[in-house]
Chains A and B, each alone.
Chain A
Amino acid sequence: MLGLALATIALAISAIGAEVQPVLLWNKIGNFTSYFDRLLKLDTGMRVWTDPKEWFWGIARWARLLGDTLLIAYIATLTGAIGGFVCAAPASRNLMRHAAVRFAVRRGLEFCRSVPDIVFALIFVAAFGLGALPGILAVAIHTSGALGKLFTEVVENIDMRPVEAVAANGGSWLAQLRFAVTPQVLSNLISYTLLRFEINVRSATVLGFVGAGGIGQDLIVAIRKFYYSDVSAMLLMIILTVIVIDMLSARLRHRLLALENPR
């Protein structure tokens, strides 16, 4: 009962804070439907699907930008995964004895994943200029923070006996990582990285909003200038790409799991 009362109070305060106006929404909901109605109309007033050629008039350019977006997501994911992998060993309790090192690495990772990637992108655009590079760096840093944490958890749950065996045979710390830790965690790490790639594709679509490359730069112009049919064409391309990538990566992850389990 107390919890319910607290939740109601929190709701009321937030509703005022967020300027929630149900009446406004009710009055303007017509705008929402009519907005989608306009999204599906060409300049000539015809429905978009009556003239696909006119609808997708800029497909060459948009496909190139969408390709850029995918490349940004790919490069950033791989870079971030490597960063996260490098940080995972010194951050995990079972492989790093020095508490100070562990603490520093963990706080660093926390910083990287707490700052939203678009904020990094805004700052990097100021430093590196417009283009794909700030976007890649921003997503890569955020990714290494997020993956670093997950990787650390995976590494902390490994079987320690192979590590001890390698150590007993005189293997150095790096040799322990290479021959005892990596084989145990690799498939898990790849599957997390694939999941992260799906997320990054989605966030890379909006990097262009702040000038960091990809399809976002054309999308925001089209939305701001009310080029309705362009907006719907680009949104459709984005949605399809994201769904296809999600499906492919889900299939890959299932195959990875299947590879792992019979052993």
Chain B
Amino acid sequence: MSESRRLRASLLPRGAELVQRYPEILMAGWRRKLTPAAVCAGAIGLYIAGVIALGISPATIIHGLGRLVDIAGLMFPPDPQSWSRFSLYLSALGQTLAIAFIGTLFAAIIACPFGFLAARNVVANRLIHFLSRRSLDTLRSVDTLIWALIWINVVGLGPFAGALAIMSTDIGAFGKLMSEAIEAADRRPVDGLVSAGGSRLHAIRFGMVPQLLPVFASQLLYFFESNTRSATIIGIVGAGGIGLHLSEQIRFLEWQQVSFLILMILVTVAALDWISQRLRSAIIGHRD
């Protein structure tokens, strides 16, 4: 607090001049000052009320933290125990990547028409626009794990259900992003094509697609990256990939194997991050 006092003291000699220059900040009325304070108080109040309502006590936190430290101690060093386990985990990791890749790709392909349908400047019909937006929202608001459970009922346990689950969530997210990119696209090439006698499809193919392709490609990479993360966990409900082993080892309290699996995930995610960053800048740099 002495800091702010010193600052204020150093500014005070010029006080009158400053007030004249920034009256709306320095001579603010009580309402302007009260609103943020009220918002903060409300947020903190809800926070405390929530903590109480969920029955969280300091005792459980401290007790749990103690156990967490024990667990963290047991995790070192990360160790798969045997080479056969290691190769098992590696193949599961490969499966995870495959799930993410297939899911992302098919989501992108299926989402394309939806993206155009949901874009205001392509389809002028308000009803179609509204319906496609809402269905994309619905797909998106169901979490991947829930989709995985649903698809398991359809195609059985295994990675295929996982790929379908990732696809389902992503169609929604992709479609929304695409429709936004389409709405933000430059109209002039489209107008030019139409005025030169091109059909509506021509206008989309030659006027819109070249503009959108780099955006889509970099989004595709971004989604692949984040889907790898989702694909590592869908195994928890039985939809293939490394998550199955992870949840199993946590259940058996084999902490060294758990930390090894987490390490494998981290390395993969970091490597993908790096590669996709490279690719993204190559794509964007290429087209500009």
Pairwise interchain contact A115-B61, C-beta atoms closer than 8 A = no
Contact A116 B232 (CB under 8 A): yes
> Are B233 and A116 closer than 8 Å at their CB atoms?
yes
Q: CB-CB < 8 A to A25: which residues of B?
A: 155, 160, 164
A103 within 8 Å of B by Cβ?
Answer: no
Q: Do B3 and A171 have beta carbons less than 8 Å apart?
A: yes
Give A238 to B162 CA distance when docked, in angstroms. 21
- B141, A243: Cβ atoms under 8 Å? yes
Contact B7 A171 (CB under 8 A): yes
A41-49, A50-58, A89-97, A119-127 - the one binding chain B: A119-127
CA gap between A29 and B120 in the complex, in Å: 32
> Which residue on chain A has the smallest CB distance to residue B270?
A114
* 26 A–B pairs (Cβ distance < 8 Å), ordered by A: A16-B98, A25-B160, A28-B155, A35-B154, A71-B50, A72-B54, A78-B43, A114-B229, A115-B265, A116-B229, A116-B230, A118-B145, A118-B233, A129-B64, A132-B55, A132-B56, A169-B7, A171-B6, A175-B4, A205-B143, A210-B236, A210-B247, A235-B142, A235-B146, A243-B134, A243-B141
**Which A-chain residue is minimally distant from B24 (CB atoms)?**
A263
Interface residues on A, range: 35 or more
Q: Is B193 an interface residue (CB 8 A)?
A: no
**Inter-subunit contact B7/A19 (CB<8 Å):** no
Query: Is A179 touching B163 in the complex (CB atoms < 8 A)?
Result: no
In chain A, positions 103-149 with a C-beta closer than 8 Å to chain B are 110-111, 114-116, 118-119, 122-124, 126-129, 131-134, 136
B137 contacts A by Cβ under 8 Å: yes
| A18/B160 contact (C-beta < 8 A), A133-B60, A209-B237 known | yes
* Interface residues of B, count at CB 8 A: 69
Give Cα distance in the complex from A263 to B138, angstroms. Answer: 37
| B207 CB–A CB distance under 8 Å | no
B4 touches A179 (CB 8 A): yes
Interface status of A21 (Cβ within 8 A of chain B): yes
A247 nearest in chain B by CB position: B137
- Choose one: A24, A127, A172; the contact of B68 (CB below 8 Å): A127
- A195 within 8 Å of B (CB atoms): no
CA distance A114 to B270 in the complex (A): 8
Residue of A at shortest CB range from B56? Answer: A133
In the complex, which of the residues A131, A133, A178 has the most CB atoms of chain B within 10 Å of its own CB atom?
A133
- Interface mask (B154-172 → A, CB under 8 Å = 1, otherwise 0): 1110111011100000000
A254 to B: closest C-beta gap in Å: 14
Per CB-CB distance, the 8 closest pairs between chain A and chain B, nearest first, are A17-B98, A128-B64, A242-B141, A14-B98, A71-B50, A132-B54, A127-B68, A18-B98
Partner of A11, one of B101, B143, B158: B101
In the assembled complex, the Cα of A31 lies from the Cα of B50 at a distance in Å of 41
B253 CB–A CB distance under 8 Å = yes
B68 touches A122 (CB 8 A): no
Residues of chain B within 8 A (CB-CB) of A178 are 4
B residues in contact with A238, CB < 8 Å: 141-142
Task: Identify which of B143, B149, B155, B232 contacts A203 (C-beta below 8 A).
Answer: B143
Least CB separation from B44: chain A residue:
A78
Chain B contacts with A in 228-255, Cβ cutoff 8 A? 229-230, 232-233, 236-237, 240, 246-247, 250, 253
